[in-house]
Amino acid sequence: MRVISYNLRKHRAAGELVGLVEQHGADVLCLQEADTTDIPATIAGLRLADATSRNRLGLAVYYRENTYRALGVRSIALKKSLHDRVLKPAEERMLGVRLHDIDHGQDVIVASFHAAPLTALNSLRRHQIRAALDELAELGDGLPTLMVGDYNYPVFKEALGQIVRSHGYELTLSDSRTYTRYRFFRGHYDFATSVGFDIDRVQTLPQGLSDHLPILVTAHISAPSVVGTADAQSA
């Protein structure tokens, strides 16, 4: 599975998506800061699974429709920062999709995630990450799960990794920094948390119109999973 995650910076980089998907052969596309009133139903062979609706700049997930079938979606509003309460930039910060691999009969969960901005405390973002992972289990407990996106967590990632591992997941950074707008805040903002997947690589792609660089996650299921297969066959 090849998954691209991209924070579009208030939808500015939306015109780059077709080229990214085609160039890198993406199976899944996870977006943040997308204008959900102005996104197409398909992008270069990928079908829109769902998009958030309670904020104009939100999340969206696309999947390759000749490879996967969408079985369910789940979006949630996470604990708010002061920035969220005052300016209300985003209501829903996680969008997960349960996908059924048509050829292999395997269900997986892929999610787009956007943590609270840097004005919030790391403790709040950790709370949001844990809550998002717990919520994804409601789509299918025990299924291979991959959550990618803008974690807004440029420092103290070692501590975050320990917390994620204690929750049963692995945290994987990209091979180079993904945010370049402000000199003192440059670093790895966009990465992946996963369980049931072996992450082969998280590659930072060239910068476009966004202040975030897109990432390409290449992963494969680490072990056969029978959970959810019967559900998929009867759905």
CATH number at 187 reads: 3.60.10.10
Domain count, the chain: 1
The per-residue pLDDT for range 141-151, each reduced to its tens digit, is 899 999 999 99
pLDDT for the residue numbered 210: 96
With b for 16 or more beta-carbon neighbours within 10 A and e for fewer, the 134-150 pattern comes to ebbbebbeebbbbbbbb
Q: Please tell me the predicted confidence (pLDDT) of residue 162.
A: 87
pLDDT of residue 123: 83
pLDDT tens across 112-169, in order? 999 988 777 788 888 899 889 999 999 998 999 999 999 988 666 778 888 899 889 9
**What's the pLDDT at 76?**
84
Instruction: Report the 10 Å Cβ neighbour count for 233.
Output: 9
**Ranges of the chain with pLDDT below 70:** 78-91, 154-156, 182-186, 223-235
Residue 226, pLDDT score: 47
Rounded distance, CA 19 to CA 209, Å?
Answer: 13
Contact 33, 10 (CB under 8 A): yes
| Owning domain of residue 117 | 2-234
Q: Provide Rg for the chain, Cα atoms.
A: 16
pLDDT for 55: 78
The pLDDT of residue 183 is 58
